A and B are shown apart, each in its own frame.
Chain A
């Protein structure tokens, strides 16, 4: 039982990060149909910028705030300079643009920051908390708690503010949203900003546990994308469930089956899920418009 719990803690911590990346994917996808492969770079910027602002002598909360601002600025620039000018292009063309952006941002980070691994001090110490014979780091609770808070705020924002409702409306039907006077370009920009902020916060929360480097975004984008898809593209709940599911599969796969093939096990389950539910766990069946 202690073993089971230990695996579960590991899976939830890692899965929470995947889930936050997947939510970022979902937000932007809903507002614009763009699958943003530079989403992982926001996580990287969150962690790396905090490290380097702190190194300049700024206290952690301020540094974290600064990092989030930087990530949001990058998100807005990405939208303004790369996505907006290509409006109306094929989905796959837009994907290649975001891949280009991700290569660009990674390289920029290696020049502006460096190519070393870095860590952040844990928010509240390193003494593990023992629950049912399994040890969990306080920082893991921060990651999980932070994830819950972000999701709650996001939900409140989307359903209780005009701006949030504009995003939902744009997601539901872009043309209709435009007709009722919503500035859809503004809404898409907003979704990039919010996604960037979520990514950066995830990066700050998780860097004390998982370490960070200029190129951590690639793997996170891959896992986050898989999480968003298995959950059902466009569904925020699906993104969360998908992220946690992949994290748990990896941990239990490593613990009970084979650490060599844990990633493969996760993808096999994803394939199985999609085989039975072709639009993911929470995805809507889409109808092709003729």
Chain B
């Protein structure tokens, strides 16, 4: 059993199973939509997890990259002769370039100082999206044109369920491979002790930057998928609260656990749906659940439960 857990394909295979099971198990479009939103958020959370859980760097501005991906898809086809899917690719590239340019100076900062710098970055992106209404429609948002793939119009919740689920599985697989590569090992060394990593010859600055860019790519991809899926986008996706949500997903599910990011995303997306019956007590319950989970499963849900199961044997 333990060996199975440690197999490099365990996490992506498990996620693939979940996606397939839910795809056939969930009857209504509503549940499929919630699941698709979970896959999209999980993708972004996995990206952020590569930065937080493996490289040990906090970002409170990742919704900024999410917004760049989403708005690239929305704005791109209006200003350039590109299809929405090509715009998504360009958006991801743009996010990577911005992450590289922003990351170089700010990744020199440590801990909470890095947090506040990334927070500032996220707010800058949000302000541009919200203020430049000529391009982005301002705070009321803008419509996104439908994507077509080989002449096939991508619409319908079930179509997007499988697209987002598929991308998530591939994303998880790439992430696992990345973590197991020499780069990943260097990153983990960095997480444990930056000084030690430097002493043994790891180019700390470079690996941090790699993690930052990769996480930005994941998050921008997720943002682009959301825009295409919803067909409508508002600047809230780049807002401060959305950045916080991503961080909560990563930490709640468990830093450094790919499956954990999916669990964290699932809880944050599905919980408000489950709690909607509580009406005005919904947020009360949400806050409470967050606190209780973090107090009792402080390493995050998946790592804590795995540790508990290990102790039980």
Contact = CB atoms under 8 A, between A and B. Distances in A.
Interface of A: 35, 82, 85-86, 89-93, 96-97, 99-108, 110-111, 218, 222, 225-226, 229-230, 233, 260-261, 263-264, 267-268, 270-271, 274-275, 278-280, 286, 288, 290
A274 B116 contact: yes
A100 B291 contact: yes
Interface centre among B117, B291, B298 (most CB of A within 10 A): B291
B291 A89 contact: no
Given A233-B112, A274-B113, A279-B113, A90 B124 contact: no
Say which size band chain B's interface belongs to: 35 or more
Contacts of B135: none
B60 to A, nearest CB: 9
Contact of A110 (B193, B280, B291): B280
Contact of A99 (B113, B124, B284, B290): B290
A274 B240 CA distance: 20
A229 B112 contact: yes
B10 interface: no
Contacts of B240: 222
Contacts of B52: 92
Contact of B248 (A91, A96, A264, A274): A96
A97 to B, nearest CB: 5
Nearest 8 A/B pairs, CB to CB: A104-B287, A100-B290, A103-B287, A267-B120, A107-B283, A100-B291, A229-B116, A89-B298
A111 B297 CA distance: 29
Nearest to A287: B195
A93 B291 contact: no
B113 to A, nearest CB: 6
A92 B58 contact: yes
A105 to B, nearest CB: 7
Contacts of A91: 111
Interface in B212-255: 240-241, 244, 247-248, 251-252, 255
Q: Dominant SS at the B interface?
A: helix
A225 B119 CA distance: 10
Contacts of B286: 100, 103-104, 107
B105 interface: yes
A37 B52 CA distance: 19
A38 B105 CA distance: 30
Given A99-B244, A278-B110, A286-B110, A92 B287 contact: no
A93 B194 CA distance: 20
Contacts of B282: 107
Nearest to B53: A92
12 contacts: A85-B295, A86-B295, A100-B290, A106-B283, A107-B284, A226-B120, A229-B112, A267-B120, A274-B109, A275-B106, A275-B108, A290-B195
B196 interface: yes
B209 interface: no
A196 B16 CA distance: 47
B119 to A, nearest CB: 7
Contacts of A105: 287
Given A86-B298, A104-B291, 15 more contacts: A86-B294, A96-B290, A97-B290, A100-B289, A104-B288, A106-B283, A111-B284, A218-B241, A230-B116, A264-B128, A271-B105, A274-B109, A288-B193, A290-B193, A290-B196
Contacts of B24: none
B150 interface: no
Contacts of A85: 295
Interface centre among A91, A218, A226 (most CB of B within 10 A): A226
B163 interface: no
B131 interface: yes
Interface in B84-139: 105-106, 108-113, 115-117, 119-121, 123-124, 127-128, 131
B284 A261 contact: no
Contact of B281 (A100, A107, A226, A271): A107
A85 B244 CA distance: 23
A226 B110 contact: no
